[in-house]
């Protein structure tokens, strides 16, 4: 595929601070010449995404304070295949202006069929279909991570605790307002790859459960330590197509597996489900998990519409003089058992612009039918 990249350089003013290099530019469709609004421009070096920005209604984007180096720009749009420019060099003190002519090759998820259980591939690109769905999912995630600013999310936050038998022992619900920050605490991808998604930093508070953030899904470390496959949806959700991820074979430290679900018609991300695996025997299956749900505004901007996080609570047992592998704790000595479960979640009711306009509102469920 032909790459069209026009460059121009500006020398920043004398005395500009170190690291003041800037990459800015425009995105236009290669054939029609129309500006691309809501595209994600990612600046890539040889190993990672260095910076990203979302294009405005005129197709403009800006990446400030970029280190000198050799780069490419990847353009991502929901419903289209990724496009990557030729490489270029950004020198010290330079401001680089790019004019990107982006090829628009549609991704047709509706044509992808999943029969049986798809094998888990070491890299997404090992299967063309997996690679297409994976790229679509990451496009939505990238737009969420660097998307439209000034949005306010209004909803309801619920916290509750359950005992080991599943009985509710604490429940608190109240209105909440936020800027839509990613709700899952995470670490740099290399740290997660080396030490796992569950780490112990405090023997009194117990383990910390780290989830995947946007950067993790774009990192080579995540690709290196996980495998990927297509997942068929249930009959009730036949309009969805999933790309699943799981720890690579032989990986035994605490990790995550899950599925990114996309709408076959639009290519937009609908839901992220994940659960923690390779945990201690006292943690029940699916006892540590998370889910995030998403929608799109009328201009195509992805927004988060809700999330839930569930984590087990450990209970120290009196020392019995034995070492039962079913209850041995994460401290290497003593024993623990399941002391309960902590759940926290938000249901977003409205998303508003900076000027107060309602951009998205949760639809009320239909009234029950008579006699039901």
In this structure, is the dihedral angle defined by the CA atoms of residues 129, 141, 38 and 92, taken in order, positive or negative? negative
Residue 176 · residue 196 · CB < 8 Å: no
pLDDT of residue 269: 95
Q: What is the DSSP string of 1-17?
A: ---EEEEEEEEPPTTPP
What pLDDT sits at residue 202? 59
- Does 320 score more than 80 pLDDT? no
Higher pLDDT, 247 or 12: 247
Mean pLDDT within 259-288:
92
Please give the C-alpha separations between residue 291 and each of 23, 93, 181, 207, 345, in angstroms, as whole numbers.
35, 43, 15, 20, 9
> 3-state class of 19 per DSSP?
coil
Q: How do residues 169-184 score in pLDDT, each as one tens digit?
A: 999 999 999 887 788 8
What's the confidence (pLDDT) of residue 59? 94
* Per-residue model confidence (pLDDT) at position 224: 93
Statement: residue 189 has pLDDT above 60: yes
Closest CA to 39 of 112, 121, 167, 143: 143
pLDDT band at 6 (very low <50, low <70, confident <90, very high): low
- Residue 13's pLDDT is 37
Q: DSSP label at 278?
A: S
For residue 164, name the pLDDT band (cuts at 50, 70, 90).
very high
- Percentage of the residues of the chain whose pLDDT score is greater than 90: 54
Percent of residues, the chain, with pLDDT higher than 70: 85
Using the structure block, give the residue that is written with the tokens 């920043």: 12
Of residues 109 and 206, more confidently modeled: 109
Q: Compute the Cα dihedral for 35, 110, 105, 39 and give only its sign.
A: positive
The confidence score (pLDDT) of residue 3 equals 58
- CB burial of residue 366 (10 Å; 0-12, 13-18, 19+): exposed
Query: What is the mean pLDDT of the segment spanning 85-114?
Result: 90
Alpha carbons 126 and 120: distance in angstroms, whole number: 10
Residue 325 has pLDDT above 80, yes or no: no
pLDDT at 5: 57
What residues have CB less than 8 Å from 109, skipping those under 6 apart? 132, 133, 136, 241, 262, 263, 264, 265, 267
Q: Where are the domains of the chain?
A: 4-106, 152-361
Task: Give mean pLDDT, residues 339-346.
Answer: 93
Averaged pLDDT score across all residues of the chain: 85
Helix (H) or strand (E) holding 345: strand 335-352
Question: Tokens standing for 2?
Answer: 């032909």
pLDDT band with cut points at 50, 70 and 90 for residue 110: confident
pLDDT given for residue 117 in this prediction: 73
pLDDT at 331 over 80: no
Name the nearest CA neighbour of 63 among 106, 103, 95, 17: 95
Q: What is the mean pLDDT of residues 201-220?
A: 80
pLDDT at 282 over 90: no
Query: At residue 123, does pLDDT exceed 60?
Result: yes
- Identify how many contiguous H helices and E strands the chain contains and give both numbers: 4, 21
* Mean pLDDT in residue range 163-169: 93
Burial class (CB in 10 A: 0-12, 13-18, 19+), 266: middle
Of 326, 308, 309, the closest CA to residue 317 belongs to: 326
Average pLDDT over residues 87-109: 91
Quick one: average pLDDT of 187-215? 83
The CATH code for residues 4-106 is 2.60.40.10
- pLDDT for the residue 193: 93
pLDDT in the model for residue 41: 93
What is the rounded distance in angstroms from the CA atom of residue 243 to the CA atom of residue 249? 18
In this structure, are residues 292 and 272 in contact, taking their beta carbons and an 8 Å threshold? yes
Q: Of 114, 64, 127, nearest to 261 (Cα)?
A: 114
State residue 47's pLDDT score. 80
Q: Which carries the bigger pLDDT value, residue 284 or residue 300? A: 284
| Band of pLDDT at residue 240, cut at 50, 70 and 90 | very high
- Tell which residue, 222, 234, 224, has the closest CA to residue 261: 234
Residue 229, pLDDT > 80, answer yes
The answer to whether 329 and 280 are in contact (CB under 8 A) is yes
Over range 118-135, report the average pLDDT.
90
Q: What pTM does this model have?
A: 0.84
Mean predicted confidence (pLDDT) in 310-331? 64
| Local structure of residue 122 (DSSP, 8 states) | S
Please say if the pLDDT value at position 16 is more than 50: no
Mean pLDDT calculated for residue range 80-105: 91
Mean pLDDT of 219-245: 94
Parallel, antiparallel, or unpaired: how do β-strands 289-296 and 302-317 relate? Answer: antiparallel
């Amino acid at each position: 595929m032909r790459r069209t990249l026009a460059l121009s350089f500006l020398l920043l003013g004398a005395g500009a601070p170190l690291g003041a290099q800037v990459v800015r530019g425009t995105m236009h469709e290669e054939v029609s010449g129309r500006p691309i609004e809501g595209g994600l421009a990612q600046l890539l070096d040889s190993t990672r995404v260095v910076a990203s920005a979302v294009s405005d209604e005129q197709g403009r984007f800006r990446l400030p304070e970029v280190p000198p180096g050799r780069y490419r720009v990847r353009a991502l749009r929901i419903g289209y295949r990724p496009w990557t420019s030729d490489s270029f060099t950004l020198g010290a003190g330079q401001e680089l202006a790019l004019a990107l002519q982006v090829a628009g090759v549609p991704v047709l998820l509706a044509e992808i069929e999943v029969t049986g259980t798809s094998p888990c591939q070491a890299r997404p690109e090992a299967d063309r279909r997996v690679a297409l769905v994976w790229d679509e999912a990451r496009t939505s995630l990238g737009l969420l991570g660097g998307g439209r600013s000034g949005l306010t999310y209004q909803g309801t936050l619920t916290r509750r605790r359950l005992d080991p038998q599943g009985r509710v022992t604490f429940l608190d619900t109240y209105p909440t307002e936020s800027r839509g920050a990613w709700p899952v605490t995470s670490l740099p991808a290399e740290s997660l790859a080396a030490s796992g998604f569950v780490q112990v930093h405090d023997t009194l508070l117990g383990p910390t459960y780290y989830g995947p953030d946007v950067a993790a899904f774009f990192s080579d470390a995540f690709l290196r330590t996980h495998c990927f496959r297509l997942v068929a949806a249930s009959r009730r959700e036949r309009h969805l197509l999933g790309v699943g991820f799981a720890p690579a074979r032989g990986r035994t430290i605490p990790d995550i597996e899950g599925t990114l679900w996309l709408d076959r018609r639009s290519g937009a991300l609908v839901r992220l489900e994940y659960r923690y695996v390779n945990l201690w025997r006292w943690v029940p299956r699916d006892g540590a998990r998370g889910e995030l749900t998403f929608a799109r505004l009328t201009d195509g901007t992805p927004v988060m519409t809700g999330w839930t996080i569930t984590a087990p609570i450990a209970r120290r047992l009196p020392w019995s003089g034995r070492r039962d592998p079913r209850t041995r704790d994460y401290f290497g000595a003593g024993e623990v058992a399941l002391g309960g479960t902590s759940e926290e979640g938000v249901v977003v009711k409205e998303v508003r612009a900076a000027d107060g306009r309602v951009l998205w509102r949760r639809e009320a469920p239909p009234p029950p039918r008579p006699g039901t």
